[in-house]
Each structure stands twice: as C-alpha cells, then as structure tokens.
Amino acid sequence: MEEKRLPAGSTEIGAQAKGGGAGTEIVLRIEDLHVHFVKNKILEKRTVVKAVDGVSLELAKGEILSLVGESGSGKTTLGRAVIGLVRPSSGRIVIVVDGAERDIGGARGKEWKRLRAHLQIVFQDPFSSIDPNMRVYDALRIPLQSYGVKGQSAVAKKISDVMRRVGLPEQVVNNYIFQLSGGQRQRIGIARVLLFDPSVIIADEPVSMLDASLKGDILNIIERESKENGVTFLFITHDMAVAKVVARRIAVMYLGKIVELGLAEDLLFDPLHPYTKAMLQASPAIDPSMKERIKNINIIGELAKSTDHPSGCKFNPRCPFAMDVCREKEPPLKEVKAGHQVACWLY
C-alpha cells in the first residue's frame, strides 16, 4: 500500500480547500475517481453505467462540503466508493492519518480495518440502517467490541459519551430500536459512527426522511462535530436549501461529473453553471431575493440515464445556451475566480 509521509507541520493546502472548514489541512483527497458498472442483459448489447466519471475533490479538516445533485447524478455512489462499499474503476482515494497519506484502495486486512475506523457513513434511512429488534445499547456495544474495545466500563463510558454528543438521554440505551422515533434513530446512527472518533464522515441524505422540525437538530449535531471535534463531512443531498445551511462549500454534480464548486455564498448569489442556476430556481426554500438575481433557466427534458452520456458537455442536451463546442468537447473544471470553479464553455 502506498504511503506518503508529510513533513512535520505540513498542511498541503489545496486550491479547493481554501476558505473551507475549520482548517486547511487536507484529510481526504479524491483523485480522478471513476466508478463504472457493466450491465449485461439478455438479447441486449453490453452497456456501461458511468456512475462517477472523473471526480477530484479535496476536503480539509473540520470542513463540511455539500455534494448536491439530482437522483442519478452519482453522488451516493461517490460517497460509497470513498468508504469502500463500492470498488472504483480507476482513480485514488487518499486519507491522511497521523500525518501520513494512505491510499485506501491499497489497504487490505487489518490495515483496511484500521483505516475504516477513520471513515464512517451515516445512511439516509434511519428505519433500515439498524436492526429494529436490537437494544440501543447492543447496537452501540457490538461495533465497539468488534474493534477491540475491551471491558464493560470502557464500553459504557464510550457509549455514554456519544449519547451526550448526539443529545439523547443516557437511559435511551435501554430501549429497543423499534421504540424510537425517526429522529432518535438517526441520532443513534450518528452515535454509532462517532464511537470511533472518525476523521471523515459521509452523510448520505441524513435528513431527507425526517420532518422539518427534526432536520435542524441533526444539522446542528453535524455542525457541532465539525467545529468542536474537527470531523470532516461529505454531506450528500439533493436539496440546495439544506446544502447552503450546513456547508461552507458546495459541489454540484451532474451525470457523474462535478460541474461547479465553490463557497456556498458564491454559488447562491453568483451561480455560473446553467445547471446550478436551474437547481436554485427549482428550490422552493431558497431566499426569493437570491432567485431574483438569477435569470430564469428553462432546461430541456430530464436527467439522462447514466448509460446515455452525450459527447462533449454532459449537460448540453438540456442546456438552452449550448454551442457547437459544447457538443464536441467536454469542458474542464477550471477556476474562473478565487475559489470558484466551473465546467462550462461559457466561461
């Protein structure tokens, strides 16, 4: 497995991480990641699903980066690839642990298990991500003991700590999962990943199945962990309004590609990519004053299938501004102003 030792005190600041979260020390680097699936159907030709098609991102310590896109854009596949639930076709995923860069793809056995503790995921559905017939205490105890935490007192102390961090009374550990509300179950889901004091958490639509009154509580937990404990979050969502509340930076994903990346306020007040503008126009919870700054974008049709990637810019069949070059060449993601990148031939 490839390892690169950083010099003492080094931070390796990436251009994408500037102005990010609590710091500028890079803890997660995704390099030209591709995740392609081959589909073979009877009487049909072999097809390739390009779920993630060349994504590069850097996340800083304590940063919350929102990854936004429609269903089918590839954002969940990207998150699952980062934590090893999906095998990348090519590219690298690097996490920095104790000052050393570790290539996740090259880790095996005990080394992978050790790295995996630093990378955790909170799933979208709190009703299916934990066995409802388990006691809360057991749902937290079993993963701890599987990672070698010994002794009843040590286990109880760790469980008590994470219950406090997610804002649940300690006596809830005596309940069964099925006795909890959706909001409580999602808090337990977060508590389970906090058991390991991870460096990076993939939060995959963690509030999409919760009532509006509960969303704020979960977002507050995420923000507090970021600020107080330096946890880095890749926050996956389809909701631009939620993205702007929780994140300092937003990456917009379309058909497996990042089409725009920048500070949240830049994307909201001065969006560049036509797809970003259309998403903002379609978001009912975005401040109307922000929408007034955006010329109405009438995009054409619906998101293409991940097997039907057009040539050139992937958005060109739906874009009202498409030019000949858009149909012929894929635009690179480039910085057009400080900290603000876009993949569009209009710029």
Question: Chain centroid to CA 75: how far?
Answer: 7
Question: What mean pLDDT is predicted for residues 284-300?
Answer: 65
Q: Tell me which of 97 and 290 has the higher pLDDT.
A: 97
Indicate if the pLDDT at residue 104 is higher than 90.
no
* Dihedral in degrees, nearest 10, Cα atoms 35, 63, 273, 81: 10
Q: pLDDT tens across 139-197, in order?
A: 999 998 888 888 889 999 999 999 999 999 999 999 999 999 999 999 999 999 999 99
Residue 120, token pair as written in the block: 């955790």
Question: What mean pLDDT is predicted for residues 56-78?
Answer: 94
**What's the rounded Cα separation, in Å, for the pair 201 and 121?**
5
Indicate if the pLDDT at residue 308 is higher than 80.
no
Asked if residue 238 lies in contact with residue 207, where contact means CB atoms within 8 angstroms, the answer is: no
Q: Tell me which of 126 and 249 has the higher pLDDT.
A: 249
**What's the rounded Cα separation, in Å, for the pair 6 and 100?**
6
- pLDDT given for residue 19 in this prediction: 36
- pLDDT given for residue 212 in this prediction: 82
Confidence of residue 9 (pLDDT cuts 50, 70, 90): very low
Confidence of residue 345 (pLDDT cuts 50, 70, 90): very high
Closest CA to 69 of 202, 235, 200, 217: 235
CATH architecture label of 3-118+196-342: 3-Layer(aba) Sandwich (3.40)
Question: What mean pLDDT is predicted for residues 259-264?
Answer: 96
Confidence of residue 18 (pLDDT cuts 50, 70, 90): very low
Confidence of residue 114 (pLDDT cuts 50, 70, 90): confident
Question: Could you give phi then psi for residue 155, rounded to 5 degrees?
Answer: -65, -45
Asked if residue 62 lies in contact with residue 23, where contact means CB atoms within 8 angstroms, the answer is: yes
Q: Tell me which of 127 and 14 has the higher pLDDT.
A: 127
Question: Could you give phi then psi for residue 94, rounded to 5 degrees?
Answer: -120, 130
**What's the rounded Cα separation, in Å, for the pair 77 and 264?**
23
Whole-prediction pTM value?
0.87
DSSP state of 177: G
Question: What mean pLDDT is predicted for residues 27-32?
Answer: 96
Q: pLDDT tens across 87-102, in order?
A: 999 999 999 988 889 8
- pLDDT given for residue 6 in this prediction: 36
- pLDDT given for residue 274 in this prediction: 93
Q: Which of 45-49, 68-72, 151-155, 236-240 has the lowest mean pLDDT?
A: 45-49
